[in-house]
A and B are shown apart, each in its own frame.
Chain A
Amino acid sequence: MKVSAKTSRHVPRKQPVRDGARVELLPERELRKIIDTVLRLAKLLGVEETEVHVDEVADALTRFANNAIHQNVAEHGLTVSVRTVMEERTARATTNRIDEDSLRAAIESALSLAASQPKDPRLLPMAAKQSYRRVNRFIKQTAAVTPDARAQPVRRACDLAIKNGQVAAGIYSTGQSQTAVGNSRGLSAAYRETHAEFSITMQEKPAASWAKANSADVGNFSPPELAARASEKAHQAVEPRELSHGRYTVILEPAAVLDLVGFLFYDFSATAVQDKRSCLNDRMGKQLFGNNISIYDDAYHPLQLGAPFDGEGMPRQKVQLVDRGIPRSLVYSRSSAKIARKTPTGHGFMLPNEYGEAPMNLVFSGGDSTLEQMIASTDRGLLVTRLWYIREVDPYEKIMTGMTRDGLFLVEKGRVVSAVRNFRFNQSLLEMLSNVEMMGPPVRATGEEAFEMVVPAMKVRNFHFSEVTKF
């Protein structure tokens, strides 16, 4: 498609406000105008049903390494995604041009894609108008952060590293995004949020350690505290001992728990079970984990982020996935709910897709033990800061492999006694969640392998490390 700005009618909208290096999102009404324009154009083209997503993002990220900022970026973009339905056929086209010609071309593109496929008698009509619970996850203070305001704590962290004879690397990012959904059956939903993240690796050769936090509110974490924690642990991590591989009691910090259990939750998709690619096949309602494990999906939890509706605009429901070790419920899109004769739970992805749905706002019930209590109660075990490069080895037993990283410590007789060389693990998640001895209170954790969740630190017996690396 050729883009011709000169001949196109533009959807009336305001320009984004930029104050120096800061960008403000468009008002919600401007997004709704784009949706209305697409719905009007689609109606003129005789489209039976039309769904429109408008997404806008304005993110910035300051990246540092070797005690200096080396990359510093900002992006601003808006996309319009159109799904059409004609004669039991559907397809989607997405563009980031919002003049009328481009929007019309996107509609025509979706129609053309859809027309080429066989009819799908199972295709559902689009969702009707819904009502939504309000969530407030847009914090002005976060949206207002400038590059200079990000540079300042980064500079302090680098100064701390230099003072301690260490090397700092990490990111400080802030941003805002919004999404609006509408369809030709009257559904209309909108959501905006801010997000902020600070992550730091402190290296004291040859060791390293790491700390990271993430929130809608930039005031909810302290970069200097995170830098100090990573610096202290990096110093403790020097001169690691090499231990034999084998089974150990482990104390997993929340980020390590998150990155492991994050691989379990696509199995709670009803579509995955219907496709027989879930580890929950033939296991629903059976005791699969220890009876101290209860897990919810709850988009409204105060520590969660994300829209209160799914890719079809259905309101998200709170779902108890696991009750005292027994998987009780799956999550359902409209389509998988129809097949299973259940109610949709508001976890569907944008259509068309082959994956169906997944829980995205996980909350573990956790316990009340502190990390210090877990260490004090351990005769011999390993304290794990973080895990890395986790991949699924076996999809039904949920055997995961991966490495420890950035701070592995030996605990003996209730005390951390030394650093340990990093291990590779091959561990079944089903077994691991049956072997949890103690848990901390759930916190909003952030890692690198899974999306953010509200999870506790865990003390787990018989965790299987299969090989050791060279550092």
Chain B
Amino acid sequence: MWDLCTRSLDTARLRGASYADVRVMHQRQRDLTTKNGIVGSLTQCESIGLGIRVLAGGAWGFASTDRLTREGVERCAAQAVAIAKASASAKRNDVVMADEQVYIDSWQSPFRKDPFEIPLETQLTLLLAADAEMRRIKGVTLTETDMQFRKTDSWFASSIGSRIHQRKVTSGCGIVATSFKGEEIQKRSYPNSFGGQHALQGYELIESLDLVKHAAIIAEESVALHSAAQCPEKKGTLILGGSQLGLQIHESIGHPIELDRVLGEEANFAGTSFLTLDQVDRLKYASDIVNVVADARLEHGHGLGTFAYDDEGVPAQRTDIIQEGQFRGYLSNRETARLIGLDRSSGTMRTEGWNRLPIIRMTNVSLLPGNWDFDDLIESTDDAILMETNRSWSIDDRRYQFQFSTEIGWEIKGGKKVRMLKNPSYSGITTEFWNSCDAICNAEYWTLWGTPNCGKGQPMQTMGTGHGASPSRFQNIHIGAAFAEQLSDK
């Protein structure tokens, strides 16, 4: 692979590139699903190719190919340079990047059990057993399970001399029980909705989640939701479960801190950000107990945003985002770091695959644990609604106003969970919401949740991100807006 990298870099230089970096990537993916006790999809994909990014005439060009021959990669590199020269015809300034060192390295993400070496029968047997447990519950009308595994080798080389090989293995799984009755469809998922939990781990992740044990619980809840009380509309206290808080972090902290958004580079599609450059060290983003980091290092955990180097050859780092409630910094790459006067990229350039340009992406953007025991948090709460497991999510294109709904809610009265609530939702303005946080559970309740489906960029790229969170409490939140009007009409 290094020969292909070298050949494409040489071609780019000969054609006039002042800088180039190239990624050869070999990606393998296995997807298994079941539905109502029958195998749904059973697919395996393999893809290998090369993408090269070049600077020529002070502007960027990128081209990719799956023709991994001498001729193929030379053509691809020449195409990238031709594209860069076209870009240069509509540039305002020459691209300049923050300095970075040269690295020669090889790294493999740690895992105990290679999921591609586990017999398929074992994997399917587990899914079908969980599926059967859910179907045991009367009133369940649809059962679904899934597993997904990925193994990616990438060979990165740049014209400054870096040569980095990384192998990453990720695993994920989830189960869903759906119940249709009367005029309602209710659903419960485990361990999370929209594909379950995903991490930079091997098959040991799947085994740790005990799908079969939880299958009957969520199935019963999906049926019970039909007779649960409707979540009221009010201003009140909200307690969020860890996975829902992970998505709240993703949408209302992770995206607005992307420096390409802040600088207007995503204005046409993903949007911009309320975190303009004058907000650093000035904005009180959150209450004093809130500390958020972007951390791609393995020390932070086995998240979907964990790696040794980003796809621009910058080592994984930990960046303070919110420190004791104060906004501290952005996710950057070499180009945007230089644009705002930083010495160095924060190492967040990531690509979906060999045929996509690396762009700024979240790594593991996590809320650090607080001091509360979960039982103490509930006992200390007089009147609140606890919401768990995301059902829908939406936020405006500058990341101010959001609305989330969850699969299930629980009314808390006098320090106790007193009854189940259906169709819970909450909404608010990002900084008002985070400034209302008054309790965060401790490390015992902290999980690094994986979001495998974050879309960004044109052409669209899907990326996995990590979000560490533990259950937390928020005051004076608008609860129940999503259903308020429809209910008043009925």
Among the listed stretches A32-40, A285-293, A296-304, A401-409, which one makes contact with chain B, having 4 or more residues with CB under 8 Å of it? A401-409
A374 at the interface (CB under 8 A from B): no
B142 at the interface (CB under 8 A from A): yes
B64 at the interface (CB under 8 A from A): yes
CB proximity of B395 to chain A, nearest CB, Å? 6
Residues of B within 8 A of A92 (CB): 41-44
Query: Assuming the A-B contacts A393-B392, A464-B485, are A74 and B92 also in contact, with contact meaning beta carbons closer than 8 angstroms in the complex?
Result: no
Task: Say yes or no: B394 contacts A79, CB within 8 Å.
Answer: no
Q: How far is the CA of A352 from the CA of B38 in the complex (A)?
A: 11
Residues of B within 8 A of A150 (CB): 86
Residues of A within 8 A of B384 (CB): none
Q: Which residue of A lies closest to B142 (CB)?
A: A275
Q: How far is the CA of A207 from the CA of B483 in the complex (A)?
A: 30
Task: Say yes or no: A76 contacts B65, CB within 8 Å.
Answer: yes
B178 at the interface (CB under 8 A from A): yes
Among the listed stretches B104-112, B214-222, B423-431, which one makes contact with chain A, having 4 or more residues with CB under 8 Å of it? B423-431
Among the listed stretches A312-320, A340-348, A420-428, which one makes contact with chain B, having 4 or more residues with CB under 8 Å of it? A420-428
Task: Say yes or no: B401 contacts A403, CB within 8 Å.
Answer: yes
Q: Which residue of B lies closest to A351 (CB)?
A: B41
Task: Say yes or no: A72 contacts B403, CB within 8 Å.
Answer: no
Within 8 A of A (CB), among B9-51: 26, 33-36, 38-49, 51
Q: How far is the CA of A89 from the CA of B181 in the complex (A)?
A: 33
CB proximity of B90 to chain A, nearest CB, Å? 4
For A58-83 the 0/1 string (1 means CB < 8 A from B) is 01111111111111111111110000
For A265-278 the 0/1 string (1 means CB < 8 A from B) is 00000000001110
Query: Assuming the A-B contacts A69-B59, A353-B40, are A424 and B394 also in contact, with contact meaning beta carbons closer than 8 angstroms in the complex?
Result: yes
A109 at the interface (CB under 8 A from B): yes
> Interface residue count for A (Cβ, 8 Å)?
105
CB proximity of A78 to chain B, nearest CB, Å? 6
Q: How far is the CA of A238 from the CA of B359 in the complex (A)?
A: 31
Q: How far is the CA of A61 from the CA of B64 in the complex (A)?
A: 12
Residues of A within 8 A of B269 (CB): 171, 199, 448
For B272-309 the 0/1 string (1 means CB < 8 A from A) is 00100000000000000000000000000000000000
Residues of B within 8 A of A167 (CB): 264, 267
Task: Say yes or no: B83 contacts A73, CB within 8 Å.
Answer: yes
A24 at the interface (CB under 8 A from B): no
Within 8 A of A (CB), among B249-286: 263-269, 271, 274
Q: How far is the CA of A67 from the CA of B263 in the complex (A)?
A: 12
A41 at the interface (CB under 8 A from B): no
CB proximity of B39 to chain A, nearest CB, Å? 5
Task: Say yes or no: A389 contacts B396, CB within 8 Å.
Answer: yes
Task: Say yes or no: A116 contacts B119, CB within 8 Å.
Answer: yes
Q: How far is the CA of A70 from the CA of B92 in the complex (A)?
A: 10
Task: Say yes or no: A72 contacts B62, CB within 8 Å.
Answer: yes
Task: Say yes or no: B46 contacts A94, CB within 8 Å.
Answer: yes
Residues of A within 8 A of B69 (CB): 5
Category for how many chain B residues contact A: 35 or more
Task: Say yes or no: A158 contacts B392, CB within 8 Å.
Answer: no
Picked from B141, B459, B482, the residue with its CB within 8 Å of the CB of A466 is: B482
Query: Assuming the A-B contacts A401-B403, A470-B401, are A74 and B63 also in contact, with contact meaning beta carbons closer than 8 angstroms in the complex?
Result: yes
A97 at the interface (CB under 8 A from B): yes
Task: Say yes or no: A65 contacts B403, CB within 8 Å.
Answer: no
Task: Say yes or no: A388 contacts B180, CB within 8 Å.
Answer: no
B417 at the interface (CB under 8 A from A): no
Query: Assuming the A-B contacts A276-B141, A397-B486, are A96 and B180 also in contact, with contact meaning beta carbons closer than 8 angstroms in the complex?
Result: no
Q: How far is the CA of A75 from the CA of B75 in the complex (A)?
A: 12
Residues of A within 8 A of B62 (CB): 71-74
CB proximity of A198 to chain B, nearest CB, Å? 11
Within 8 A of A (CB), among B451-474: 458-459
Q: How far is the CA of A91 from the CA of B40 in the complex (A)?
A: 10
Task: Say yes or no: B142 contacts A277, CB within 8 Å.
Answer: yes
Task: Say yes or no: B185 contacts A158, CB within 8 Å.
Answer: no
Picked from A90, A120, A155, A396, the residue with its CB within 8 Å of the CB of B185 is: A396
Task: Say yes or no: A403 contacts B178, CB within 8 Å.
Answer: no
Q: How far is the CA of A20 from the CA of B184 in the complex (A)?
A: 57
CB proximity of B487 to chain A, nearest CB, Å? 10
Within 8 A of B (CB), among A354-389: 354, 388-389
Task: Say yes or no: A210 contacts B401, CB within 8 Å.
Answer: no
For A106-130 the 0/1 string (1 means CB < 8 A from B) is 1001101110111010100000000
Query: Assuming the A-B contacts A18-B75, A61-B459, are A401 and B84 also in contact, with contact meaning beta carbons closer than 8 angstroms in the complex?
Result: no
Task: Say yes or no: A72 contacts B60, CB within 8 Å.
Answer: yes
Task: Say yes or no: A389 contacts B394, CB within 8 Å.
Answer: yes
Residues of A within 8 A of B67 (CB): 15-16, 76
Query: Assuming the A-B contacts A72-B86, A389-B394, are A171 and B458 also in contact, with contact meaning beta carbons closer than 8 angstroms in the complex?
Result: yes
Q: How far is the CA of A117 from the CA of B142 in the complex (A)?
A: 20
Task: Say yes or no: A352 contacts B42, CB within 8 Å.
Answer: yes
A3 at the interface (CB under 8 A from B): yes
Q: How far is the CA of A283 from the CA of B69 in the complex (A)?
A: 57
Name 22 A/B residue pairs within 8 A (Cβ), A-sorted. Answer: A15-B67, A18-B75, A18-B79, A62-B87, A67-B92, A68-B92, A73-B459, A75-B459, A77-B49, A77-B65, A91-B43, A91-B44, A169-B264, A169-B267, A173-B458, A247-B485, A354-B41, A390-B394, A393-B425, A394-B423, A406-B397, A466-B427
New contact pairs (13) apart from A68-B93, A73-B357, CB-CB < 8 Å: A21-B63, A73-B83, A95-B46, A96-B46, A110-B44, A113-B120, A118-B128, A120-B38, A147-B83, A173-B459, A247-B485, A393-B425, A406-B397
Chain A interface residues (CB < 8 Å from chain B): 1, 3, 5, 15-16, 18, 20-21, 23, 59-79, 90-97, 106, 109-110, 112-114, 116-118, 120, 122, 146-148, 150-152, 154-155, 158, 167, 169-171, 173, 199-201, 203, 208, 210, 247, 275-277, 281, 352-354, 388-397, 399, 401-403, 405-406, 422, 424, 426, 428, 448, 464, 466-471
